[in-house]
Chain A
Amino acid sequence: MFECRLPKAEVLKKTMDALKDLIKEAVWDVSAQGLSLQSMDSSHVSLVQVTLRTEGFDTFRCDKNIALGVNMDTMQKLMKCASNDDNITLKSEDNGDLLSLIFESPNGEKTSEYEMKLMDLDIEQLGIPDQEYSCTIKMPSGEFQRICRDLSNIGESVNITVVKGGVDFSAKGDIGNAKIHVTESSNVDNEKDAVTVEVNEPVNLTFALRYLNFFTKATPLSGQVSLSISPDVPLVVAYEIEDLGHVKYFLAPKIEN
């Protein structure tokens, strides 16, 4: 059987919020390493990959690798029934067709148990190679969210140009143009407020803002976001979940016809 427990439901609620607008159905793969999920969005333009490592759970038992096929909307709805500071247990039998979600209030006076029907899903998996990127930008996640939202008012795409010391986000549209320049921080007291720009070679790529705006639903998971960019390969937008894992989004660049 599979059974795991997290001290706070909040982190799993935020993880579901980060996924449910992008993907409708997905498979949680459960192994001794933890929980993981990989899925393309319905138009196959982007890919999301989630890892929640065993070490981040209070308890984690997995007798046999299992795949939990879930409707994301349903799982998110059930997760919303947990209070942020409830502890949460997920449980499933090896050959079962149900996932139990048990929420316990911090004082132990209320326990809620929900059972969710699992689905038999055959979802295409892609091999994501480990690779070095030409540029890696780290910045406050709220700032990145704001930039994507603001540029959506101008155009459908953002052009990201990274040079030593800074990055330009620009958009063009029928009503006009916009350019937002973010400079690398020279001195920061709080790591969460820092902007760092690592450049091996300058890059200039264009991405659909529609998907970046979906990705920024993960903002509450982490104070910082990292953007890894290389010419002609998907952009990686990564949110670390403290002590537990990460949510990573991959977005194919727009290319010249």
Chain B
Amino acid sequence: PKHQPSISSFFMKT
């Protein structure tokens, strides 16, 4: 099974 990560885990917070 696959899980859905958050988009914010891929980009730096500014």
Report the separation of the CA atoms of residues A40 and B10 in the bound assembly, to the nearest whole angstrom. Answer: 12
| Those of B1-14 within 8 Å (CB) of chain A | 1-14
A206 adjacent to B5 (CB under 8 Å):
no
> Within 8 Å CB of B6, what residues of A?
44-45, 252
Contact status of A125 and B14, CB under 8 A, knowing A45-B7, A250-B7: yes
| Those of A105-140 within 8 Å (CB) of chain B | 124-129
The answer to the question of A149 belonging to the interface, with a C-beta cut-off of 8 Å to chain B, is: no
> Within 8 Å CB of A252, what residues of B?
4-7, 9-10
A47 adjacent to B2 (CB under 8 Å):
no
The answer to the question of A196 belonging to the interface, with a C-beta cut-off of 8 Å to chain B, is: no
Which residue from chain A places its CB closest to the CB of B1 in the assembled complex? Answer: A257
B4 adjacent to A47 (CB under 8 Å):
no
> Within 8 Å CB of A255, what residues of B?
2-3, 5
> Within 8 Å CB of A157, what residues of B?
2
A206 adjacent to B2 (CB under 8 Å):
yes
The answer to the question of A53 belonging to the interface, with a C-beta cut-off of 8 Å to chain B, is: no
B7 adjacent to A127 (CB under 8 Å):
no
A40 adjacent to B8 (CB under 8 Å):
yes
Report the separation of the CA atoms of residues A228 and B1 in the bound assembly, to the nearest whole angstrom. Answer: 24
Minimum distance in angstroms from A36 CB to a CB of chain B: 13
The answer to the question of A256 belonging to the interface, with a C-beta cut-off of 8 Å to chain B, is: yes
Report the separation of the CA atoms of residues A257 and B8 in the bound assembly, to the nearest whole angstrom. Answer: 18
Report the separation of the CA atoms of residues A157 and B14 in the bound assembly, to the nearest whole angstrom. Answer: 30
B2 adjacent to A125 (CB under 8 Å):
no
The answer to the question of A234 belonging to the interface, with a C-beta cut-off of 8 Å to chain B, is: yes
Minimum distance in angstroms from B2 CB to a CB of chain A: 4
A254 adjacent to B4 (CB under 8 Å):
yes
The answer to the question of A208 belonging to the interface, with a C-beta cut-off of 8 Å to chain B, is: yes
Report the separation of the CA atoms of residues A97 and B11 in the bound assembly, to the nearest whole angstrom. Answer: 31
20 extra A-B contacts, CB within 8 A, seeds A250-B11, A256-B2: A46-B7, A124-B8, A124-B13, A126-B7, A126-B11, A127-B12, A127-B14, A129-B11, A129-B12, A234-B11, A250-B10, A251-B7, A252-B4, A252-B5, A252-B6, A252-B7, A252-B10, A255-B2, A257-B1, A257-B3
Subset of 15 A-B contacts with CB under 8 Å = A40-B8, A44-B7, A45-B4, A124-B8, A124-B13, A127-B14, A157-B2, A206-B2, A250-B7, A250-B10, A252-B7, A252-B10, A253-B5, A254-B5, A257-B3
- Interface of A with B (CB < 8 Å)? 40, 44-47, 124-129, 157, 206, 208, 233-234, 250-257
